[in-house]
Amino acid sequence: MSAIPDSVELTRVLVAMDTVNPPGNEECVARVLAELLQSAGFDVLLDEFAPGRSNVMARKGGGEGTLLFSGHMDTVPFGSAPWSFDPLSGEIVDGRMFGRGTSDMKSGLAAMVCAAMRAASAFGPNGPSLQLALTAAEETGCKGVAALRDRGLLCPVRAVLIAEPTSNRPRLGHKGVLWLKAGTKGRTAHASSPELGDNALLKALDLAERLRSFPFDGQSHPVLGEPSLALTTFQAGASLNCIPDRAEIGLDIRTIPGLVHVELLGRLRQTLGPELEALEVLDDQQGIWTEPDDPWALRVFEVVEGVTGKPCRVEGIRYFTDGSTLWEACGQPATVILGPGEEGQAHMTDEFCPVENIRQAEEIFTRLALGWANGN
């Protein structure tokens, strides 16, 4: 086996690799992590689902219950605001590592892979197994994990740990999302004779007005709260002197676990009425939640409190993750989101991650993996 790298230094190596999505180009990170895991005895598959875009699937152990570690390799763009540090440098100042992806979520990947290597020898052919699903294209709609699902590379597991940024505080779930485009159709005419046309823009405004008071029937989650609907984009018209014959509004709907998306879409169509020409689903991710008395949640809380010395609280996160697809494709396993990145630093200019968080996360992940191998 290759020497187990230092998780902080591995984070710097990964940050130096530009995987801004788009275009992603996660292949470079995928190969580094695949080689490390293979050297530790994992069976590794490098799954290229698009040019330069690969997922990593790794597995070690038998078939008596699988623990799945997961994280994504892509990052968001640097943004237009100037950085105080080179976003690909991984420079460490005052105990913080700066760079794009330090928090979201190359620190989590590094800690997870180092922990898997440390625990690898505990997973033999006749006991539980440890699996890693390291994905590309998460930041633009979880396309990498969807490719794993569609290719039949995801199988039932018993528990999932996702290393998204949570400041090493376990989170038990998140809301789901529906990204939609609602379109209207009209008839074009010269703007000097609007009565000869059928204004699709006005129809879209009517749809938007109806959505202002869309009823979620009082549904709520005790931790994640209520569902929400936001109108986020509006497109209509090609010229100031033409009546638009098409218009489109964008919707961002955040749902709670248990809210059935197919039923919600039916109610939306009913609310929007006959002026709706088309309702396109751009992304559909189910909300997920693991009860705090679940054995996996209890074990994670125990280990985190032992490493950090801080009590854990029952919390969720605001953003969604690959966990939605993993939950549906892997048999609805108990899922916990836990990673070293600072939640408030994701996608920020001068993004950083505390170095101590990375080392703590590696220890947490190692204890969880070793405990799993020993039936805990």
**In the predicted model, what is the mean pLDDT of residues 148-154?**
97
pTM confidence score: 0.93
**In the predicted model, what is the mean pLDDT of residues 342-353?**
96
Residue 5 in tokens? 């790298």
Residues 138 and 249 in one domain: no
Here the CATH number for the domain that contains residue 191 is: 3.30.70.360
Residue (of 321, 315, 320) closest to 301 by Cα position: 315
What was the pLDDT predicted at 376?
77
Residue 273 in tokens? 């009425």
Whether 308 shows a pLDDT value over 70: the answer reads: yes
Q: Give me the helix-helix angle, 7-15 and 27-39, nearest 10°.
A: 150
Task: Look at residue 207 and give its three-state secondary structure.
Answer: helix
Residues 106 and 62 in one domain: yes
Residues 14 and 65 in one domain: yes
Count of domains observed in the chain: 2
Here the CATH number for the domain that contains residue 360 is: 3.40.630.10
Whether 23 shows a pLDDT value over 70: the answer reads: yes
Task: Look at residue 267 and give its three-state secondary structure.
Answer: helix
- Is 161 part of any domain? yes
- Is 238 part of any domain? yes
**In the predicted model, what is the mean pLDDT of residues 342-365?**
97
Where does a domain end: 261, 285, 309? 285
Dist. CA 131–CA 10, nearest whole Å? 20
**In the predicted model, what is the mean pLDDT of residues 132-151?**
96
Residues 117 and 134 in one domain: yes
- Is 140 part of any domain? yes
Residues 27 and 56 in one domain: yes
Residues 20 and 113 in one domain: yes
- Is 303 part of any domain? yes
User: Domain containing 15: what range?
Assistant: 7-174+287-373
Q: Is 18 exposed, middle or buried (0-12, 13-18, 19+ CB in 10 A)?
A: middle
Where does a domain end: 229, 258, 285? 285
Looking up tokens 């004779």 gives 193
Catalytic-role residue among 26, 74, 322, 362:
74
Residues 216 and 267 in one domain: yes
What was the pLDDT predicted at 215?
85
Residue pLDDT, tens place only, 223-275: 999 999 999 999 999 999 999 999 999 999 999 999 999 999 999 999 999 99
Query: Which of 114-118, 129-133, 318-322 has the lowest average pLDDT?
Result: 318-322
Residues 28 and 106 in one domain: yes
Helices (H), 177-242: 200-211
Helices (H), the chain: 7-15, 27-39, 107-119, 143-150, 200-211, 261-272, 295-308, 323-329, 355-373
- Is 85 part of any domain? yes
- Is 62 part of any domain? yes
Catalytic-role residue among 47, 138, 248, 284:
138
What was the pLDDT predicted at 1?
66
What was the pLDDT predicted at 318?
85
Whether 64 shows a pLDDT value over 90: the answer reads: no
Residues 253 and 267 in one domain: yes
Residues 144 and 163 in one domain: yes
Whether 204 shows a pLDDT value over 80: the answer reads: yes
Active site residue 74: yes
Residue pLDDT, tens place only, 225-236: 999 999 999 999
- Is 1 part of any domain? no
Residues 71 and 185 in one domain: no
Q: What percentage of residues in the chain have a pLDDT greater than 90?
A: 94
- Is 2 part of any domain? no
Dist. CA 243–CA 197, nearest whole Å? 6
Residues 111 and 143 in one domain: yes
Where does a domain end: 264, 285, 306? 285
Whether 218 shows a pLDDT value over 90: the answer reads: no
What was the pLDDT predicted at 47?
96
